[in-house]
């Protein structure tokens, strides 16, 4: 009989599973899920392409027959047309992507494998934030600058607009920052709720319903509540001209939105440490 011989012993483990390894692991996961990348690509194409088509039909084709007051309004607020539309479309897809970056792992049970490979939960949490935030920053800036240049090409025969115009560069760059903060804001909901449908409903309900209903609150306190709602405040950053009646400036609005995101992420991190997977 032949005897079984064991192979060479494995070398002893050295070091600890740290943040760099966790970041590489999270990046591998997020880029290997085809649905995520397809969703991002489809979101960018729809946001830029559909808005360009709308601008072509509603502005370029109608310009000669358009009333003079409407023309003047478009000339003074071009970003409302070429940037506001894409951001309105993209933000819904970004909210879903942000939620699913964590909720899908709870839905499939993969979170247990993730925590087995990286037992330090805050390290895993930080790695997910770094990967999601970095990816959505690149995507957000690509979508915002892409929407600007494509939209500019469509309306330039009638409406001149340049990055050198007052407030334009801030608005275009800030739109990418808004997308990044929104993704992390939505991630926090996914982490706290741990149920995809419930978290998406909560985020979109806040964006579409609650934030709008606060505008009906009476008196000055109602104006303050409405102004400090997360997406109401954050959306000021991609407006070229912020109305003087607004209680916040563009950068203050983004800071308020970021503050909401940080608060919810801290709550999510606390629950992550306290609850079982």
Q: To 10 degrees, what angle do helices 121-155 and 84-108 make?
A: 150
* Per-residue model confidence as pLDDT tens digits over 31-79: 877 777 888 888 889 889 988 898 888 888 888 888 888 888 888 888 8
- 190's tokens: 């996914």
Domain boundaries of the chain, sorted by first residue: 22-274
| Cβ atoms within 10 Å of 125's Cβ, excluding its own | 20
Q: Is the pTM of this model over 0.85?
A: yes
* Per-residue model confidence as pLDDT tens digits over 159-214: 888 898 889 999 999 999 999 999 999 999 999 999 999 999 999 999 989 998 99
């Amino acid at each position: 009989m032949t005897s079984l011989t064991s192979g060479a012993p494995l070398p002893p483990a050295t070091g600890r599973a740290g943040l760099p390894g966790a970041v590489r692991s999270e990046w591998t996961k997020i880029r290997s899920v085809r649905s995520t990348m397809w969703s991002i690509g489809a979101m960018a194409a729809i946001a830029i392409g559909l808005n360009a088509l709308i601008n072509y039909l509603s502005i370029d084709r109608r310009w000669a027959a358009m009333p003079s007051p409407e023309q003047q309004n478009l000339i003074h607020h071009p970003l409302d047309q070429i940037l506001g539309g894409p951001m309105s479309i993209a933000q819904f897809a970004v909210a879903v992507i942000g939620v699913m970056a964590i909720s899908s792992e709870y839905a499939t049970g993969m979170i247990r494998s993730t925590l087995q490979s990286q037992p330090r939960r805050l390290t895993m949490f930080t790695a997910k934030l770094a990967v999601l935030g970095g990816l959505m920053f690149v995507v957000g800036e690509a979508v915002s600058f892409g929407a600007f240049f494509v939209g500019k090409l469509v309306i330039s025969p009638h409406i001149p607009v340049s990055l050198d115009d007052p407030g334009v560069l801030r608005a275009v760059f800030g739109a990418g920052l808004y997308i990044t903060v929104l993704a992390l804001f939505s991630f926090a909901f996914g982490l706290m709720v741990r149920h995809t449908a419930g978290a998406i409903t909560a985020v979109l309900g806040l964006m579409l319903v609650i934030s709008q209903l606060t505008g009906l609150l009476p008196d000055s306190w109602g104006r303050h509540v409405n102004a400090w709602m997360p997406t109401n405040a954050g959306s000021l950053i991609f407006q070229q001209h912020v109305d003087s009646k607004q209680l916040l400036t563009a950068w203050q609005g983004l800071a308020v939105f970021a503050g909401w995101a940080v608060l919810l992420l801290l709550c999510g991190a606390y629950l992550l440490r306290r609850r079982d997977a």
